[in-house]
């Protein structure tokens, strides 16, 4: 079999020839990649030359390139363009890769060399980046069992293998339940309140399925508009309950036992390594440093947000009773009532905004902003392959005109793609190698009569993921292990969340917010309303995020294994942040992919943590000018390009000149004056 995954791609920029890669190529390639990489590592581990940074730590950075590339391709496809074949292969690949990681991290001769360098080498001869890499490598070995005895190492291998497979299955179950549900509507009168474009999209989906009427799914561009605009309460109820049942039904996709097993395994793993809890293990390498600090941070925000949220909820209840005939608000009413209340009090209907945010203009706008800030230029190259017809590929050039990155963009939902939005990498950056970055979203598709028109929330999502992409594209470090988003997890959201701020600024909006039919700039009164929107119901929004943060921590605290009933535990934790009645057939945890499939376990708080950083950092842009060259250059040089080469607080202070001030977030949210 001619397997393209067994060699360096002979393509422009070594881009991925997706059409040449078949599912059956992955396992043979990964097995050979693993064997070759382990052989290369053994040469490092068993060399007779005394250990030095160059012949050991640096040498490790230059092995396994094909393995890293091929596993990235497989797991990225499994998220964005999966199939039954890809899912089966990913399940086969996961234990192979977990075993490989353990073979490396539990390689005693290799660890002894690194340990000797860490303990004995005069680090004055190392650069700051080299010192960071040495410490990261040493701690990576320790945190993956290098100090354990042989029996304990074998147990660690078993735990890691099982955890990897369970996380994959968790995500597959959520996707399966999401894809299994459709809401079929036969009568147009039942769609009263829905915007024309949403109805048109639902009609086209029904037509593609060869059925009459309209079809709605649990994909974001279908689910959210129905929950926000449909006046038919029965439809909202059906959709809401279906969304809340994902991973929590009496079928083969139920995730409750997986959650209980995952939290048990994570606790056991942490205990094996000498930590009180999984949270203690995770937070050792976070800016927050400890579970106590995170709890204090969340509780302080809760204390500030709850009174505001309570007042906002009372306003909603009164408005709903007086204007909508709803005397008791249920979970399926909140988005609908909130939108009606917003239209009444802010005189802002977000559907009026959508014509000013066609996807193509928003994309061109974020590219233009990146050019003004960082000198980047984006050129679409149709000769470079994507993994689906919706995917576009851009070559990215820097100020000097040098090739700097590839950017893949993938914006529309489809059955083989998980919900949500994310940035990922197909190839990382290191000295002599530029990165290949991808942003994946689920925006409203174009219809027969209109292009893809974004809600304002979708615009901020685009800017958010593009901020992550900038972190990857502007990376400029020597070693791949410290490049781009390889930073402390509660620092990784700063580049993404700060980008959202430009969505509210007149100078930025004038670059791209134009009516898709007339070309008219977004009116000034709309811009003023957007600024007010930034403060709208921030108490309730903050409370919602805090709820996820509290829930995440409880699943990973020292008492986590006392949890025996996922739904009961969740209800007890979330009751302090919810104003609607709990429904026994719904469960948030069973589709909480961030912590049970992604990398946010004991780390969901980092979204609010990063909001403190981004609010404080953006104040400098507001002070100097949102396109100020020196401020942007400083942010690029001290944050975006540096990756994990230094402690994030050191980098942040170098950019900002001081530690972040939490009041900046509370002030921006309108929670304090």
Q: Is the dihedral of CA 301, 307, 312, 313 positive or negative?
A: positive
The side-by-side arrangement of strands in the sheet containing 436-440 is: 377-380, 392-397, 403-410, 436-440, 422-427
Pairing mode, if any, of strands 214-216 and 183-185? antiparallel
Residue 453: beta bridge partners?
Answer: 358
Residue of 172, 465, 493, 570 with catalytic role = 465
Q: Give the whole-angstrom CA distance, residue 606 versus residue 626.
A: 25
Assign 238 to helix, strand or coil. Answer: helix
Q: Give the whole-angstrom CA distance, residue 490 versus residue 89.
A: 32
Q: Residue 388: is it exposed, middle or buried by C-beta count within 10 angstroms (0-12/13-18/19+)?
A: middle
Q: Give the whole-angstrom CA distance, residue 433 versus residue 479.
A: 10
Q: Give the whole-angstrom CA distance, residue 403 versus residue 398.
A: 7
DSSP 112-145: HHHHHHHHHS-GGGS-HHHHHHHHHHHHHHHHTT
Give yes or no: 465 in active site: yes
Cα angle vertex 348, ends 347, 352, to 5°?
Answer: 130
* 24 alpha-carbon distance from chain centroid: 29
Q: Give the whole-angstrom CA distance, residue 87 versus residue 473.
A: 29
Pairing mode, if any, of strands 403-410 and 422-427? unpaired
Within 10 angstroms of residue 573's Cβ, the number of other Cβ atoms is: 20
Q: Which helix (H) or strand (E) holds 436?
A: strand 436-440
* 369 alpha-carbon distance from chain centroid: 22
Question: Given its phi and psi angles, is residue 247 left (phi above 0), alpha (psi -120 to 50 degrees) or beta?
Answer: left
618's CB contacts (< 8 A; 6+ apart) are 498, 501
327's CB contacts (< 8 A; 6+ apart) are 320, 321
Active centre residues (catalytic):
465
């Amino acid at each position: 079999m001619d397997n393209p995954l067994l060699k360096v791609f002979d393509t422009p920029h070594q881009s991925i020839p997706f059409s040449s890669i078949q599912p059956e190529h992955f396992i043979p390639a990964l097995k050979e990649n693993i064997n070759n990489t382990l052989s290369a590592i053994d040469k490092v581990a068993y060399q007779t030359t005394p250990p030095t940074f160059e012949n050991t730590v640096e040498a490790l950075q230059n092995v396994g390139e094909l393995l890293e590339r091929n596993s990235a391709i497989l797991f990225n496809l499994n998220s964005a363009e999966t199939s039954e074949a890809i899912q089966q292969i990913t399940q086969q690949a996961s234990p192979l890769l977990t075993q490989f990681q353990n073979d490396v991290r539990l390689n005693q001769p290799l660890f002894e060399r690194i340990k000797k360098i860490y303990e004995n080498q005069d680090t004055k001869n190392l650069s700051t980046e080299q010192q960071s890499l040495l410490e990261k490598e040493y701690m990576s070995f320790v945190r993956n069992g290098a100090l354990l005895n042989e029996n304990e190492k074998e147990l660690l291998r078993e735990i890691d293998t099982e955890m990897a497979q369970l996380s994959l299955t968790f995500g597959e179950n959520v996707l399966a339940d999401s894809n299994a549900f459709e809401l079929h509507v036969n009568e147009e009168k039942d769609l009263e309140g829905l915007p024309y474009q949403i109805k048109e999209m639902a009609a086209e989906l029904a037509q593609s399925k060869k059925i009459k009427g309209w079809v709605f799914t649990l994909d974001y561009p279908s689910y959210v508009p129905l929950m926000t605009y449909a006046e038919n309460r029965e439809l909202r109820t059906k959709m809401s309950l279906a969304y809340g049942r994902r991973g929590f039904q009496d079928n083969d996709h139920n995730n409750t036992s997986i959650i209980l097993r995952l939290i048990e395994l994570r606790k056991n793993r942490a205990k094996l390594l000498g930590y009180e809890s999984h949270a203690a293990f995770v937070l050792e390498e976070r800016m927050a440093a400890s579970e106590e600090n995170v709890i204090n941070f969340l509780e302080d925000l809760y204390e500030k947000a709850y009174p505001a949220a309570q007042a906002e909820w009372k306003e909603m209840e009164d408005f709903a009773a007086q204007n909508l005939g709803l005397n008791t608000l249920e979970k399926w009413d909140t988005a609908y009532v909130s939108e009606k209340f917003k239209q009444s009090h802010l005189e802002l209907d977000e559907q009026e905004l959508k014509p000013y945010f066609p996807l193509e203009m928003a994309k061109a706008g974020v590219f233009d902003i990146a050019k003004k800030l960082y000198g980047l230029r984006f050129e679409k190259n149709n000769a470079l392959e994507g993994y689906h017809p919706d995917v576009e590929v851009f070559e990215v050039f820097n100020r000097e005109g040098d090739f700097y990155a590839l950017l893949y963009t993938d914006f529309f939902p489809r059955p083989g793609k998980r919900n949500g939005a994310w940035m990922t990498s197909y190839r990382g950056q290191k000295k002599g190698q530029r990165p290949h970055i991808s942003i994946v979203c689920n925006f409203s598709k174009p219809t027969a009569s209109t292009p893809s028109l974004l809600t304002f929330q979708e615009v901020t999502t685009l800017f958010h993921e593009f901020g992550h992409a900038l972190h990857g594209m502007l990376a400029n470090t020597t070693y791949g292990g410290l490049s781009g988003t390889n930073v402390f997890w509660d620092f990784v959201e700063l580049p993404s969340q700060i980008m959202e701020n430009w969505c509210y600024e007149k100078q930025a909006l004038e670059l791209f917010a134009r009516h898709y039919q007339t070309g008219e700039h977004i009116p000034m009164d709309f811009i003023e309303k957007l600024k007010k929107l930034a403060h709208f119901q921030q108490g309730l929004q903050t409370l919602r995020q805090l709820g996820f943060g509290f829930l995440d921590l409880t699943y990973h605290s020292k008492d986590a294994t006392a949890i025996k009933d996922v739904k009961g535990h969740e209800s007890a934790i979330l009751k302090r942040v919810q104003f609607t009645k709990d429904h026994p057939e719904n469960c948030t945890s069973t589709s909480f992919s961030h912590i049970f499939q992604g990398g946010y376990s004991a780390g969901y708080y980092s979204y609010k943590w990063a909001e403190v950083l981004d609010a404080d950092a953006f104040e400098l842009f507001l002070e100097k000018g949102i396109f100020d060259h020196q401020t942007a250059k400083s942010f690029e040089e001290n944050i975006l390009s540096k990756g994990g080469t230094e402690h994030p607080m050191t980098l942040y202070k170098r950019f900002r000149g001081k530690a972040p001030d939490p009041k900046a977030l509370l002030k921006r949210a309108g929670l304090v004056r």
